[in-house]
Amino acid sequence: MDTLLHFVGLILHIDKSLGDFIHTYGGWVYAVLFLIVFCETGLVVFPFLPGDSLLFIGGAFAATHEMDLGALIVLLLVAAVAGNTVNYWIGRAIGPKVFDTNIPVLERFLDRAALQKTHNFYERHGGKTIVIARFVPVVRTFAPFVAGASAMNATRFQLFNILGAAIWVLFLVLLGYFFGNIPFIRQYLNVIVLVGIGAAIVPIALGALWKVSRRGSKV
């Protein structure tokens, strides 16, 4: 039981304990990293799993030759693309059925007009939304599901899915590879990640506020 709890603890905090995991389980680290990234991007019930920091730390360990850089990048890229793809098709299968339900209790909480608006939004801005969402925790878990539920074109989704995954994986893994072993960065990794999240969210929030203000001025 203690061994199982230790294993689960390593997985949930693998971004902080990746070194211990490598030393304890060796090559299994690749399978676990694949599973974590796939679940975080592919299943809406796992938005709490580490993403950005995990890629960064993985790159840092690749720089010390404890992991293979090429294998790490390919593995994470496949996991990220596959996860979003599964999430999209789950949304595509479940979303419309949920909004088409005639169950009285659910009718109070569902808004078919909202689904149509979401569909229209993804048709206009879905591509950049899928790419930008890669860098925003929690949002990247839900974005592909919403894209599927709102019936975003599958080919268009896949194009931006692959593009977003490539930018996300390459940027963070290589950032970790070249800078992850600098003591200052290691010490303040959480702060750096939060700053990065802020840099991604602030432009989106400002854009949304601008549209709201313009819409209000026209009323």
68, 145, 194, 216 from 201: Cα distances, Å: 32, 19, 10, 22
CA distance 111 to 101: 11
Indicate the DSSP class of residue 201: H
169 found inside a domain: yes
Indicate the DSSP class of residue 28: H
pLDDT digits (tens, 9 = 90+) for 49-86: 777 778 888 888 888 888 899 999 999 999 999 999 99
Of residues 105 and 71, more confidence is placed in: 71
Q: Is pLDDT of 158 > 90?
A: yes
Give the pLDDT band (50/70/90) at residue 202.
low
196 found inside a domain: no
Give the pLDDT band (50/70/90) at residue 93.
confident
214 found inside a domain: no
Domain count, the chain: 1
Q: Which domain holds residue 150?
A: 2-188
pLDDT digits (tens, 9 = 90+) for 24-42: 777 788 888 899 899 888 8
The confidence score (pLDDT) of residue 100 equals: 62
Alpha helices in the chain (DSSP H): 2-12, 14-25, 28-42, 52-63, 69-99, 104-107, 112-133, 139-149, 154-179, 183-187, 189-218
Percent of the chain with pLDDT over 70: 61
